[in-house]
Amino acid sequence: MTLFQTLEQYMNREAVYADRSYSYREMLEVGDSICQEVGERSLVFCLCANRVESLFGYIGFLRGRVVPVLLDADIPVDQLQKLMERYQPTHVWAPETREDLANSLDAFYGYGGYALFETETSVRHQLHEELALLLTTSGSTGSPKLVRLTYNNLSANATSIIDYLDIDQTDKPITTLPMNYSYGLSIINSHLLKGAPLILTDRSIVQKEFWELCRAEKATTFGGVPFHYEMLKRLKFETYDLPSLKKLTQAGGKLDPKLAQHFSTVCEEKGIQFFIMYGQTEATARMSYLPDRMHAKKAGSIGIAIPGGTLSLRDEAGNDIKEANVTGELVYQGDNVSFGYATSLADLSKGDDNHGVLRTGDMAYHDEDGYFFIVGRIKRMIKLYGSRISLDEVEALLREHGYDCVCAGEDDQLYVYTLQDDVARIQKIIKEQIKVKGVRVMQIDEIPRNAFGKIRYAALPKRELVTT
């Protein structure tokens, strides 16, 4: 059974508010009609915005067992073309205003501002029977590497999220994240599966229109990555009057412990539940959560495994680590673990490479109570003249001294970037605390981020750095 086969039970309920209210009945009728135009089970590209057209298309494709690749509606032309050449979709569901598609493909069906474009591919897709959805691995929508998610992955993760967040039909989330991002999509999946309504908007949290819509439609919850919470603090979220808001969630990267404590305090004062979570696209979306009201006791923790999943640690030899406060690679096991990656058309017929086990690439430890703490990425480790250095730990050290810095590097070279002008002080802290050579510090005007709010480390400049 696919994820949305049971939605008929909610036919007369509100499903979505965008420019107006849409019922589950209307959503399913439109979604199913889009899928019927595609016809047989095949691969389609769905170019996503937080609009009813892309949402309804996604739902229709899943219900009709057509496999969508979810991409950003604004994906650059050259990136989209490369992906189309590699994966040969039969159709593209996209804004009709995309001139690159309108000028080269025939559009034979439309709804709202979207059109169904038919490609000229002659490929007959060999899709694994359990393959449901393909997502990009991080935020690079032009990457040829896709995550192969199954119908069971989607159902298992959505059901688990419903369980630990206690989602019911009184919940009404407002979108703050792209739906082609696994975290944003998981919010949609879990709430629709429960028959709850969504508020769809592309407005940013820095726009007053977002908060006006939030109040008018009585939003009860929204999620954000660390960048969103940094912005909310600057906006003085604690002064906002939002009586309907009852849950906040955070994922998409480690939240600074001081920021986490700030929002824990603010939410407690406002009677809002606050959940810090951890996940990866390779596990559909979520793998752990820190229960509400545990922030003071377990500051900096990603919490415990989601219902139906388990977390463990392995050392460099692959042995399980049972002892508390010993660092190893974090390993997750659960029904939401994807089949693996696709880098070519042939990979879409492959079976399960992961067998329910995901080596996350994150280094972590757990305390005596079984709560897990991330200390860094395996790939975020470098060697500086023989000393093993965690870039994440350097960022944390500087944060303790009041400096929000971004660290990158390679062996024998550490780059530190800051928005602040106290470069000399940062140099001094690094020299005294880390005691290594080969550290270069640079003040920059802006930290490059992708559409999901994650730092684009490859876009950081390498020139004009001041060496310590």
The arithmetic mean of pLDDT across residues 300-313, rounded, is: 97
Using one digit for the tens of pLDDT, what is the confidence trace for 65-74?
999 999 999 9
How high is the pLDDT of residue 464? 53
Tokens standing for residue 431: 């020299």
pLDDT over 70 (residue 229) = yes
Q: Which residues of 272-282 are buried (b: 16+ CB within 10 A; e: fewer)?
A: bbbbbbbbbbb
3-class state of residue 104 by DSSP: coil
How high is the pLDDT of residue 439? 84
Using one digit for the tens of pLDDT, what is the confidence trace for 140-149?
455 689 999 9
How high is the pLDDT of residue 387? 63
How high is the pLDDT of residue 351? 97
* Partner residues linked to 466 by β-bridges: 441
Least confident of 86-100, 132-146, 203-217, 437-451: 132-146
Which is nearest to 260 in space by CA: 237, 247, 276, 243? 276
DSSP-derived secondary structure letter, 5: T
| Domain residue extents for the chain | 385-467
Using one digit for the tens of pLDDT, what is the confidence trace for 25-55?
999 999 999 999 999 999 999 999 999 999 9
How high is the pLDDT of residue 392? 83
How high is the pLDDT of residue 139? 47
Name the CATH superfamily housing domain 385-467: ANL, C-terminal domain (3.30.300.30)
How many residues does this entry show for the chain?
468
Beta strands in 387-468 (DSSP E): 387-390, 405-410, 413-418, 439-443, 466-467
φ, ψ of residue 354 to 5 degrees: the values are -95, -25
The arithmetic mean of pLDDT across residues 11-17, rounded, is: 98
Q: Give the whole-number percent of the chain exceeding pLDDT 90.
A: 74
The arithmetic mean of pLDDT across residues 336-356, rounded, is: 97
pLDDT over 60 (residue 154) = yes
How high is the pLDDT of residue 142? 57
Using one digit for the tens of pLDDT, what is the confidence trace for 19-29?
999 999 999 99
Mean pLDDT (the chain, rounded): 92
The arithmetic mean of pLDDT across residues 161-180, rounded, is: 97
Q: Which residues of 101-111 are buried (b: 16+ CB within 10 A; e: fewer)?
A: beeebebebeb
Do β-strands 387-390 and 381-384 pair in parallel, antiparallel, or remain unpaired? antiparallel
How high is the pLDDT of residue 465? 52
**What distance in Å separates the CA atoms of residue 206 and residue 379, rounded to the nearest whole number?**
33
How high is the pLDDT of residue 138? 58
